[in-house]
Amino acid sequence: MILKVCGITSAPDALAAIEAGATAIGFNFYSRSPRYIAPERAAGIQTPGVRRVGVFVNESPERIEEIARIAGLDIAQLHGDELPGRYPRTIGVWKAARVGTGFTFAPYDDVPAEALLLDGPAAELYGGSGMTFDWQLAARSRKRIIVAGGLDAGNVALAIQLANPWGVDACSRIESAPGIKDHQKMIDFLLAAKAALAA
């Protein structure tokens, strides 16, 4: 299962996440995000043995591929209005979808993505809002699902129980400030997720 910590901006935060059991680390390359990190800086953060995921919003496939080369990414996580014909071709894709009123999986049935990342409703915000959604919806998809949005140590076990996801992803609720992880909250989240999987 994917245990992802997103919005990493420093080597100490990345190391603490990996030591606590994270299997994926997320870097946000959306320039309007408070967790934005320059590709060259992300390249200098070592993440041995885990997937390196880049968060993008309405970026051209050519620019995504360029950043992926610079930052050593394994996955492009697309949070914008990207159509399948404009997905990058030299890197794997996780497509993010915001789950709001009337959400349906139909628009994502044929997207060429390794996984679908379900996030909470965010109005016009991109890249995550820290809001949860009805996790039972995730269990209805035939695709690999990563549950994101408002997860922390207090609710990740329930999310795993209800959604039976391929992965979970936490960011804002395990921070002391945007882009600065609270190591104890991060560790607690990862331990709770691992305990739920082992139950």
Q: What is the tens place of the pLDDT at every residue in 89-129?
A: 999 999 999 998 889 999 998 899 999 999 987 644 555 55
Quick one: which of 14, 183, 59 has its CA closest to 6? 14
> Residues in the chain with pLDDT < 70?
122-130
Measured CA to CA, the distance from residue 162 to residue 12 in angstroms comes to 32
pLDDT of residue 123: 42
Measured CA to CA, the distance from residue 172 to residue 88 in angstroms comes to 27
Superfamily of domain 2-198: Aldolase class I (3.20.20.70)
Exposure pattern of 132-154 as b/e (b: 16+ CB <10 Å)? bbebebbeebebebbbbbbbbbe
Measured CA to CA, the distance from residue 138 to residue 159 in angstroms comes to 9
- Name the one residue in this structure whose structure tokens are 């970026």: 59
pTM of the model: 0.94
- Residue 132, both tokens: 């949860």
pLDDT of residue 195: 95
Quick one: which of 2, 1, 49, 3 has its CA closest to 153? 3
pLDDT of residue 124: 45
DSSP secondary structure letter of residue 101:
T
Burial environment of residue 176 by CB neighbours within 10 A (0 to 12, 13 to 18, 19 or more): exposed
How many other CB atoms are found less than 10 A from the CB of residue 199? 8
Question: Residues with catalytic annotation?
Answer: 6, 119
How many angstroms from the chain centroid is the CA of residue 140? Answer: 20
Measured CA to CA, the distance from residue 185 to residue 154 in angstroms comes to 10
